[in-house]
Every structure is written in structure tokens, then in C-alpha cells.
Structure 1
């Protein structure tokens, strides 16, 4: 008797029923084993396993999926404080980027490999190679610690650069990235409002009471909100950055309804920044907005922006208006750093570091300071002096040669970005790239006082946005006959720009 059609393989005629039964049986045995060995954790793992397998397949089929998953995963790092299981999210991100890189080769025929022949990729490659050479730094007290810090220093940026540059991304992918960033930031701001006005969850109280978190997040009886990010500094930097992006959209959008939406988002994000108590994040707004006005090359808007910003800064610097409000007072103290004991202590620590690093042009080795230094080489001088700055951390671990290369790379990215953006014709693309570039400059400046450039999710946003800006001309569109620009218009790819 013939097998029913739905049980037969079209090509071979073999019964699929037994294959499905066999696979189902194996899965049931696996679930039982995991639950018996790991309990509830095993049950969760069994449920997630098919999802993970499906995602791996999707990433291998299309590297764009890996890149967009990377963005979402970067925003979930701080959620680990809400679960009892120790989830190595950082290693998961490493694995995802490696899998996405593999997908580039699997789909190599449709990748745009010629984009690697660019100044942008050359800059990030020089920095990456330098950090790899740091592995043999003779001053390093514990070489395996190199792996933990090189990821934030250069590895992730290098991998993201490879993926973004060669993957045939579309304008829809850029829009998805921007919308993901705005939505995650909105959720983060709302969660911070819950912390500020309704209170902390039990898991957050446990986190606050562990280590030095209470010392840095409870100042004069006031909570520095951290939302679901790693800490208040990271949350404040991200809120300041996304405030700047939303504010730029207020200026750039033409429709009144869209302007109102972005104005509301600007206020929400700004108050999220304010309740974080992160003083240095103010410079993301100040420097980023000033850079945006320069990008505009519009004298009238430059004058309007200055007329709005300068009086506000003068009020904060030379008056006591609003000092009864804790958030306002924190912002005011950022503009008078020499009256801040913590800033003076930072300067004293930097003077101490000068003595150690005087004869170490290549630093003490990657992984010797901050958390990894305290974990693997706590006796070493690099682990005993807090850097309190991204650039000071780079200085300690890669020396004056390394920090000089890094700053030159950042300046190169900014210069290439300005050149690219000034060549654009498409209004939609211009306003997106204005936001990316202004936020990058603001965050880069803030790196002097906080290590946010090496922390999720800010690092992921910066890594992606800098590469998008560097190649933004590939999405530029030609004006139509009536002078308007539409997404359907063919992209202009000018060969004379490809060298950058």
C-alpha cells in the first residue's frame, strides 16, 4: 500500500514520519537529561536551543541578520542582574560577531569586498594590528588578560567594520538600526523613571549593595539611575547621545507632527540623562550639538543655536538658579571641575601614572588595569590606580604610542565622515548621518572622563554608526527631475570617492 503524500519526501519517497519521530525522540531525551542535571535552567536551555539553532542558520544565510542581532544583544547586557544564572553575554556577542564574519565568506559572491580597499578600513586595521602586537608586550604581568580587553579596544570594532563595509546593506537596514536604538533608549528611560519615582526591584537592590556600586550610585542620599544598563555613567552617556540625535531630528524634519514626536522623545531622553547624575555626559550634548551646527554650514542656524546654548551654559556656570534641584546641580558641577574633589583626584592619579609610564611608550600591556587588572594581576601598579577615563585606560595599557594612534584614528573617522556627509544629496540620509556623526564626536569627547567607548551598548552603536557614515555615499540618491529625492531613485556611486 502506498504511503500518504504528506509522509513522503518528494525526491526519494522515503517516509518523513520516522525522521520526525526520531528527531522528536532525541529532543525529548535531551530535554529530560538537561532538566535532570540542571533543573529549571536546563528547561530554559531546552526551550532556547531550537531558537538559537534557527538564528544560527539565519545568520549564516544572511550576515545582515547577525549585525542586527548584535545591536539587540548589546542592549541586553545589563539584564543579567535580573536573572540568577550567570549568562556570559559578552562571550555570546563575541560568538555572534565571529559567526557573522563566517557568514561573509559563506555568502562571499554577493559581498562587496572592494570596500575594504579604503582609508576607513586601513585606519581600523592599523589600530587592530597594534593591539594584537601588544600581546607580546614584555611589561604585561598576565598575558591571557589581553583577550578580555582587546575586544572592547579593537577586536569588536574591526569585526563590525568588516561586516558593515562589505555587506550589501539597504536603507531599510539603516532605518531598522536607528529605530531599534530609539526604542531601546525609550524603554531604558522609562525604566529609569520607574527606578527614580517608584523604586528599585529586589535584583537591583542586590546589585546596588554589591561591591562599590552603592558608593558610586548613591550620592548624598540621591540615586543615580542606571536603568537596565551596566551603570549610571553608561546610561547617562547613552541618554545624552540619543537626546542629541532626537534633537537634531527636531531641527531637520519638515513635517510638524514628526517634529513634535521627536521633541517629546528629546525631553524624555534628556530627563533620563538628568536623573543618571552623569555630569560628563553634558559634554556629549554641548560638543555634539556644536559639531552639528558646524556640519550644517548654515550661519543663521549657527547663530540661533549659539543664542540658545550660550545663555544656558552661562546660567549654569555663574548663577545658582535651580541649585535646589539635585539633577541641575550635578550638571552645574560638570562646568566647574576644579571645584570637584573627584576631578582633582583624577588629575592627581594621572600625575602618578606619568611616573610609571615615563619609560613605557607601549604601556603596561592590554588587560592590566581596571577590572581585568584587579582580577588577574591585583599586585601590579596598573591595577592599583583607577584610570577613570577611557583615554587614560588606553594610555596605561597601550602607552603613549597606542593612545596617539587611537586618537588619530578617531580624528580620521570624524574627518572622513565630514567629507562624506558634505557630498550627500539625499535629505533623509543627511539628517541620519548628521545624528551619527555629532553623537560620535560627543561620545569621543566624553571618553576623557568615562570609559563609555568600551561599554555596551554605546560601543556597539558607535562601531556601527562610524562605518555607516564612512560609506554613506553608497545609499545616496540622485535628485529627480522636479528636484526631489526618493528612495526609488538609483544610487549614485562615484568612483572618485571610493578611495576614502
Structure 2
């Protein structure tokens, strides 16, 4: 009888346009329409766009506060588009990463009044080593060689802050096998979009906004011998090529070993092919280091002598193809990749010469010249200095120049500790076959990016940065995930 009394007659419920018969809803819609009209009349299209942006921001804050985990997904998405959007709407979009990270922390803070937040999950050796690194970067404020606090503020974000803020959040919010699956799907879709945008530039040319960016200085490094180095919506061609090669390695491994789900296997294979195609059209020689070292790392993780020998033969064959043949020399992309294997290549000699100069300069500066002393930030804030006018090219050379031999030594030890932990878990701890494949893919991808970062400053830039942080966390929590999977199969 209760069920009958609680039954709702669908013919007595307003739906569709009939909902507007409710005066409260009708009044709200009319007020909104009137407000939009006034905004357009008073401020024009720009004001209307700003109004929509305000509504979007309010909706974003609401979603993140209600479901903080969505903030992690948004962070990954934003990492891919944050640089490219500045070519269309000039603004300091990089600070939106900071804003989103702070917003997620605020959401967890207020949620903590109603529910206990499991901050203990962030207690990990990974959190410790990145916190020590962040502490050293904070000490750089007192570096007697540093000449600009503004340069420090902008540069330290990609070097340490984003990593330090992201990793505890990932431990707390993004820590399940289902989250790892979601990560691969979101990453794969964004990578495909990146390649499609790159193909548009490669085949049809750049749009007017991208042309303006090239005219304002981007052409110096992205138009070589009259040919475009494709950059998609990334910061530059180097970041695009390395990021797509990263996707090629990770998703190639996933595609090779995925069983029982043809749709997912096909998706992984498509992402891998799109990634390697993006790497090729980027014209970035350093990107080839990603599949090279990623492949070597994969052979090590397999612990199989036959596979190791076959893989070694394949890698030697690739080296011979690029370094000792002229096959495919008519193709501009292959021709440019081939120069990466030439020890006498002109740009390599310039890099080595710059490193000699830096070695002499930094010999008496063990803490470096100060975070932000080199590269774009150096040119912007301290253009008169030696470091600002000496190209670093490499991510590690930049870390060395900014933080000195002390900083570089710790930074490299930290990266190898993280990579070694992931590799150890794959080789000796994980029992679940699919989880082992997933973590293997992340370890190989990280190894490749670490190698590519010697040639270009890719490690701390978006989207590679956020992809690395997520990868690191899953490498460290993989034994716990494995234990849960093992319990579920008993």
C-alpha cells in the first residue's frame, strides 16, 4: 500500500516546455536572458565571452568542490591545452594550473569538515624526495647569485612546485586501478587530438593565430630551411615530438599485451600509431630518444634473454638505418631525424661549446645562478646576465645552471630513485599480469622522457609534467593495487 501511495503519476508531472509553467523557473530564465542581453548591449562580444567565462568558472568551482577527483582529470586536460590557448587568447594561462591545484586543496579542506580526508595515503618515499627537492628550490631564494625573485617565482613552478603539489593529491584522490584505466583513456584521447592538430599544420598549414605566433619569434626555431617544425597546440615542436613519442611507447606496450578486449586493444594501437606519427612530423630529432631508451628499458623489464637479444638486434638495426645508410633521405622528416645520429652535426657542436662555457662559469657556483636565471625567464627578467644569454637547450643543463651541481646531483638521484622503484616493482613485486603491463608502460615512458630531456627541456613542461607525476604515483602504489587485485581473484 505504501508503494502505491508513493507512486508518482507521470501524467501529473511537468516535463519539457511544461516546466516553464512553474513561475519560479520562468522568472529565473527571464532574469538570465535579461542579464545576458544587458551584458551584450553594454560590453559587446568581449563582455559576453567574459560573462560566459564567469559562468564556466562558477560551474568549475562547484564541480571540483563536489567531486575533487574531477579536478585531477581537469588538470590533465588543462596540461595539454594551457600553452596552445595562449596563441588565441593572450593571457597568463600557465597560472591556471596553479589556480586549479589550489582549488582542489581548498575543496579537500572544506570536505574535511564533513568527512575525514585520507591524507595518510600521501605518506610515501616519493612525497619525501619531492618535498626535499622543493625545499632546496625554496632555499634558492637566498642564493647570492640570484638576481630576480620574479624569475624564481615563474620558473620554480615547473621545476618543483607543480610536482610537489600534485603528488600528494594524486595519492589521496587518484589511487585506484579504475583511476589508472581512466588515466590511459583520457591521455590517449588527448594525444590523438594533439596528433590531429599537428597533421592539420603539417598538411594544411598554420592558422592565422599560429602564424602570428611564428611572426613574433616562433619562426626562428620552427621554420627551418623553409619547412615547418610541427608544434600542434603544445609549447613548441620539441615538446610535441617528445610527448607524442611518449604516447607511442606507452600505448604501444599496452596494445601489444592487452588481452580479451579487442576495442581497447585497437584503441591503444591507434594511439600508439598516432603518437609515433606525431613524433615523425614534429621534426624533433631528440624525440627519437623516447622510443630508443623506452625500448631498452622494456627489454630489461622483461628479464627474457631471447627477447633481450631480439630487441637488441632491432635497436642496432634502427641505429644502422639512421647513422650508416641514406635510405629514405628524400623524406624531410627522416632526413632531420638522421642528423641526431651525426656526432659532427653543427647544432650539437654549439650545444657542447655552450656546456663548456657553463662548466667554467658554474665551477665556483655550486648552487648555480638562481632559479629562473636561464632561458625565457632569464631573458625576460635578467637579460643582461651571462646565464640569460647562454642557451641551455637541455632540461638537465637548465637545472644545472639554475641550481648548480648540488641541485643537479640531487635531481638526477631523485629521478633514478623513482624510476628504479617502478622498475623493481615490475620485475619483482607485481603478480597481476595486466597491472604489470600498465606499470611497465609507465616506467618505459618515463625512461624515454628522461633521455629526451637531455636534448630538450621537456620534463618540466606541460603536458609531460603532469603525465610524469601521475606515472610516478602509480609506480609507487602499484604493490597495493596488486594486493587488492590478488584478493579479488581468490
Q: TM-score, normalised on structure 2?
A: 0.89
Q: Any idea what the Cα deviations from partners look like across 1:33-79, whole Å, max 9, x if unmatched? A: 58634x32221121232232122122123321111110011111233
Task: After TM superposition, give the deviation of residue 231 of structure 1 in Å.
Answer: 0.9
Bigger CA drift: 281-290 or 318-327? 318-327
Say whether the 8 Å CA contact 2:72–2:174 is kept in structure 1.
Answer: no
Query: Aligned to 2:330, what secondary structure does the other structure show?
Result: coil
Q: Which residue pairs with 1:245 in the alignment?
A: 250
**Counterpart-to-counterpart distance in 2, 1:146 and 1:165:** 28
**Counterpart-to-counterpart distance in 2, 1:174 and 1:324:** 42
Say whether the 8 Å CA contact 1:241–1:284 is kept in structure 2.
Answer: yes
Task: After TM superposition, give the deviation of residue 125 of structure 1 in Å.
Answer: 0.6
Task: After TM superposition, give the deviation of residue 431 of structure 1 in Å.
Answer: 1.5
**Counterpart-to-counterpart distance in 2, 1:102 and 1:24:** 34
Q: Any idea what the Cα deviations from partners look like across 1:419-445, whole Å, max 9, x if unmatched? A: 223311222222211111111111011
Task: After TM superposition, give the deviation of residue 209 of structure 1 in Å.
Answer: 1.6
Q: Does 1:353 align with 2:370?
A: no
Q: Which residue pairs with 1:124 in the alignment?
A: 130
Say whether the 8 Å CA contact 2:126–2:476 is kept in structure 1.
Answer: yes
Q: Does 1:36 align with 2:34?
A: no
Unaligned runs of 5+ in 2: 1-12, 14-21
**Counterpart-to-counterpart distance in 1, 2:323 and 2:346:** 17
Query: Aligned to 2:77, what secondary structure does the other structure show?
Result: helix
Say whether the 8 Å CA contact 1:81–1:207 is kept in structure 2.
Answer: no
Q: Does 1:155 align with 2:161?
A: yes
The number of residues matched between the two structures is: 468
Say whether the 8 Å CA contact 1:78–1:229 is kept in structure 2.
Answer: yes
Query: Aligned to 2:94, what secondary structure does the other structure show?
Result: helix
**Counterpart-to-counterpart distance in 1, 2:23 and 2:401:** 62
Alignment counterpart, residue 92 of structure 1, candidates 91, 96, 99: 96
1:117 to 1:316, Cα distance in 2 relative to 1, 3 A:
same
**Counterpart-to-counterpart distance in 2, 1:199 and 1:377:** 35
Task: After TM superposition, give the deviation of residue 373 of structure 1 in Å.
Answer: 1.1
Q: Does 1:465 align with 2:480?
A: no
Q: Does 1:425 align with 2:446?
A: no
1:20 to 1:120, Cα distance in 2 relative to 1, 3 A:
farther
Q: Which residue pairs with 1:11 in the alignment?
A: none
1:116 to 1:256, Cα distance in 2 relative to 1, 3 A:
closer
Q: Any idea what the Cα deviations from partners look like across 1:136-195, whole Å, max 9, x if unmatched? A: 212111112211011000000011111011226332222221111111111111221221
Alignment counterpart, residue 277 of structure 2, candidates 253, 257, 271: 271
Task: After TM superposition, give the deviation of residue 458 of structure 1 in Å.
Answer: 0.9
1:489 to 1:114, Cα distance in 2 relative to 1, 3 A:
farther
Task: After TM superposition, give the deviation of residue 29 of structure 1 in Å.
Answer: 4.9
Task: After TM superposition, give the deviation of residue 255 of structure 1 in Å.
Answer: 4.6
Task: After TM superposition, give the deviation of residue 18 of structure 1 in Å.
Answer: 7.0
Task: After TM superposition, give the deviation of residue 340 of structure 1 in Å.
Answer: 1.1
Bigger CA drift: 396-405 or 22-31? 22-31
Task: After TM superposition, give the deviation of residue 240 of structure 1 in Å.
Answer: 0.7
Query: Aligned to 1:169, what secondary structure does the other structure show?
Result: coil
Q: What are the residue-to-residue correspondences of 1:363-378 with 2, within 5 Å?
A: 363-378=368-383
1:141 to 1:303, Cα distance in 2 relative to 1, 3 A:
same
Alignment counterpart, residue 293 of structure 2, candidates 287, 298, 318: 287
Q: Which residue pairs with 1:198 in the alignment?
A: 204
